[in-house]
Amino acid sequence: MLLTILAFIVVLGITITVHEFGHFAMAKLLKIRVLVFSLGFGPRLIGFTRGGTEYRLSPIPIGGYVKMAGEAYEEHKGSTDEFLSHPKWHRFLVAVAGPMMNILLAVLILTVSYMQGVSAPRYPKEPAVVGPVAAGSPAADAGLQTGDRVLSVSGNRIETWEDLEVALGTAAKDALDVEVARDGRVLPLHLEPPPDETTVDAAALGFKFPLERTIVYTVDTESPAYRAGLRDGDEILSVRKNGRTGEDYSRILNIISESEGVPLRFRVRRPGAGEDREKVWESPAPPGGRILDLTITPVRENGRVIVGFVADYPSDLQKFGVLGALTQSVRRNFELSALTFRIIGRILKGSASVKTLSGPIEIARISGSAARTGSARVFFGFLGLISLQLGVFNLLPIPILDGGVIALLLVEGILRRDLSINLKEKIVQAGFLFLILLMGFVVFNDLTKILNLDRILP
């Protein structure tokens, strides 16, 4: 719990500081007087004043703000260093600088990762062909079979496993209409996700990408698997329960998912010293290493029965020079931004569930999970993703957000006149109410996932 709180503070602290610094630096550059630079909301805890600006730390760590002179109409006295005294394009630059700093941080983090070398899984770009299907699972009950190629989910066209994951992750939980190609025919299937799952994905429905072997990518250091001795790079050869043995990835997950509180026997191969992780997917497995027998008891966490490891996938090491890394980073961040807007569009059209939205509690939980992996690359990768999402979210044309300010400035620029103060105040009030309702909704969403309330809620 303490690690989760600390990780959450670090992630939010860095992303908010970068965001507010963007506004602050641009305002200073344009000679707009900045009165307050605050990290957090609420009363001042600590701070100091320098150069006419009060720098403060406040107790509510879910945001921050930069207060500029003459930013509100009732405070505007006409001084040349006030926000409203500056031309619209100056105000536009100040508003857009915060989100852009978040996006630049995401680009920087991923650029450094590509320069160091990124192990990129192959499966997201692979065709959406179904691997093993767990017996008795929703997928099996619906008639899904190994070798089926998924063509669409709830009307969304599917080409790759990445498309499939996005479509499942944003789908409504009540039912899924899926089209698959099998033996030259197109078959419609109707899948009903289990009611006790907080999220819909391939694992929850009972099918996976076709993996030949189960190799551990990372283990949560606070999980039953880690306490029992499972480590990164281990290969799980089999899992046994009451004489029943699972050897392939799908059967292993199936046994785990039905064994909450039941000790399971894991047979594990640990790589030998100096064994090349890049060749780990060679078949058959390289000779050497140790065979270990571990007893691990699955637990329920966030609505799913787990032991606490993430499986590895065949991947390619991608390493670039500065220019190549920057190009790849920009491309990937653009793809992720476009994906965010696609998901928002699906939610607005009703083809994706609003339960997809997450808030600060879920961010805190994932921050803790990223920190517990012990991998700086995983943690900073998550930090970059949150920074990108914060930047993109703030560009949405919602009053009170930066995107709302930008939208109003653009409207006034097109009309070539200022909107009335009364109209602007009503727009801001509506935006504030919307954000309060949105925050309440995403916090409720987070709580339903953590407390597993989906079992009793519609």
| Average pLDDT estimate for 408-428 | 89
pLDDT of residue 456: 47
Asked if the peptide bond before residue 399 counts as cis, ω within 30 degrees of 0, the response is no
pLDDT in tens, 80-138: 999 989 999 999 999 999 999 999 999 999 999 889 887 777 778 888 998 878 767 88
Would you give the DSSP letter of residue 417?
S
For residues 375 and 269, which has the higher predicted lDDT (pLDDT)? 269
What residue spans of 191-299 are helical by DSSP H? 202-205, 224-228, 249-257
Range of lowest pLDDT (46-55, 85-94, 326-335, 359-368) = 359-368
| Average pLDDT estimate for 41-54 | 92
DSSP 29-75: HTTPPEEEEEEEESS-SEEEEETTEEEEE-SEEEEEEEEETT-SGGG
Domains along the chain with CATH numbers: 1-30+86-117+319-458 (no CATH), 121-209 (2.30.42.10), 211-314 (2.30.42.10)
Q: Residue 222 and residue 7: Cα distance in Å, rounded?
A: 15
pLDDT > 70: percent of the chain: 88
For residues 5 and 227, which has the higher predicted lDDT (pLDDT)? 227
Neighbours of 39 (CB within 10 A): 20
Q: Residue 251 and residue 284: Cα distance in Å, rounded?
A: 20
Work out the pLDDT band at 351, boundaries 50, 70, 90: low
Q: Residue 426 and residue 420: Cα distance in Å, rounded?
A: 10
Q: Residue 442 and residue 251: Cα distance in Å, rounded?
A: 34
Mean pLDDT of the chain: 84
Rg (CA), the chain: 25
Position 209 pLDDT exceeds 50: yes
For residues 64 and 175, which has the higher predicted lDDT (pLDDT)? 64
Work out the pLDDT band at 301, boundaries 50, 70, 90: confident
pLDDT of residue 13: 87
Range of lowest pLDDT (48-62, 67-81, 275-289, 296-310) = 275-289
For residues 308 and 201, which has the higher predicted lDDT (pLDDT)? 308
Position 385 pLDDT exceeds 60: yes
Range of lowest pLDDT (167-171, 250-254, 450-454) = 450-454
Q: Assess contact for 214 and 224: CB atoms under 8 A.
A: no
pLDDT of residue 336: 86
- Cα–Cα nearest to 59, from 83, 29, 39: 39
Hey, which residues does 367 pair with through a beta bridge? none
